[in-house]
Amino acid sequence: MDLINLGLTEREMDTLLATKKLYGEGWPARVSTISKELNVRPPTVEEYIDSLISKGYIEKNAGVVRLTDMGLEVVRTIERNHRVIETFLYRMGMDKDLACKNAKIMQYHSTEEFINNLCNLLGHPSYCPHGKEIPHDSECCSRPQTLEIVLKR
């Protein structure tokens, strides 16, 4: 998935990430819990949620917010972008925290083509420097590595 042409704002994408995180931790994602997670006022979170519902990325039932399949795909792509970029920066010699900080900015603004090229260059890595799994792209990661560059580690 290419995030660039979806027309989602960073805050909308953060709302999807927060929803997945709360759900993963066993908390129902509601306006109140997402508001705390993002440190954004509830009326503003309502706006993000309404926009995401109209675009088909989340559903809301009895106050509980859930990701649709499309929303899950966006979250998976953000995680893939983040972890591929982070792995690249780390192998370039940047420390983990700084690599993570930079990846947080670039994760929203990278084309699929760029990420797949980096993934190929890195040999389709399975884990980021923090040991978290990097979601594979079925097309990218079934191809052999064809790009090469000399990195420090």
- Report whether 85 contacts 94 (CB < 8 A): no
Closest to Zn ion by CB, 46 or 97: 97
Q: Which two tokens stand for residue 32?
A: 């109140």
Using the minimum distance from each CB to Zn ion, give the nearer residue, 58 or 119: 119
Give the nearer residue to Zn ion in terms of CB position, either 41 or 98: 98
Only segment of 13-21, 53-61, 71-79, 81-89 that touches Zn ion (CB under 5 A):
81-89
**Alpha-carbon separation of residue 36 from 16, 27, 64, 74, 111 (angstroms):** 14, 12, 15, 22, 30
> Which one, 12 or 86, has the nearer CB to Zn ion?
86
Residue keyed to tokens 């926009």: 51
The structure tokens listed for 23 are 């759900």
Does position 121 bind Zn ion by CB under 5 A?
no
Q: Is 141 in the site for Zn ion (CB under 5 A)?
A: yes
Interacting residues of 97 by C-beta distance below 8 A, sequence separation 6+: none
Task: Identify residues 82-111 at the interface with Zn ion (CB under 5 A).
Answer: 86, 100
The contact set with Zn ion (CB under 5 A) reads 86, 100, 119, 124, 140-141
